[in-house]
Homo-oligomer: A and B are copies of this chain.
Amino acid sequence: MQRTVLKFGGTSVGDLDRIAHVADLVSWRASQGEKLAVIVSAMAGETNKLVGFARGAAGDNLSGPSFDDEYDVVVSSGEQVTSGLLALALRKRGLKARSWLGWQLAMKTSSAHGKARIMGFENSGLLDAVDGGEIAVIAGFQGVTDEGRVSTLGRGGSDTSAVAVAAALGAESCDIYTDVDGVYTTDPRIVPQARRLDKISYEEMLEMASLGAKVLQTRSVELAMNHQVRVRVLSSFAQPGEDNPGTYVCSEDEIVEKQIVNGVTYSRDEAKVTLYGVEDKPGVSARIFSMLADAGVNVDMIVQANARGPERANMVFTCTSADSENAEKILLESKADIGFESLSVSRDVAKVSVIGVGMKSHTGVAGTMFDALYRKGINIDVISTSEIKISVLIDAAYTELAVRALHTAFGLDAT
Residues of A within 8 A of B (CB): 16, 19-20, 50, 53-54, 56-61, 66-67, 69-74, 76-78, 80-81, 83-89, 91-92, 98-99, 101, 103-104, 148-150
Contacts and interface: CB of A to CB of B under 8 A. Distances in A.
A58 B101 contact: no
A57 B104 contact: no
Contact of A92 (B61, B71, B104): B61
> Considering the complex of A and B, which 9 residue pairs feature the smallest CB-CB distances, nearest first?
A73-B84, A74-B84, A77-B77, A58-B88, A57-B85, A57-B88, A16-B56, A70-B84, A59-B92
A4 to B, nearest CB: 22
Given A92-B59, A99-B73, A85 B148 contact: no
Contact of A98 (B69, B77, B83): B69
A50 B54 CA distance: 19
A92 B62 CA distance: 10
B101 A86 contact: no
A88 B67 contact: yes
A83 B99 CA distance: 22
Interface SS, A side: helix
Oligomeric state, in number of copies? 2
A57 B50 CA distance: 22
A67 B84 CA distance: 10
A55 B358 CA distance: 53
A288 B313 CA distance: 99
Given A16-B53, A104-B148, A73 B83 contact: yes
A77 B81 contact: yes
A71 B98 CA distance: 11
A25 to B, nearest CB: 15
Contacts of A71: 84, 88
A92 B71 CA distance: 13
A19 B72 CA distance: 18
A164 to B, nearest CB: 20
A243 to B, nearest CB: 28
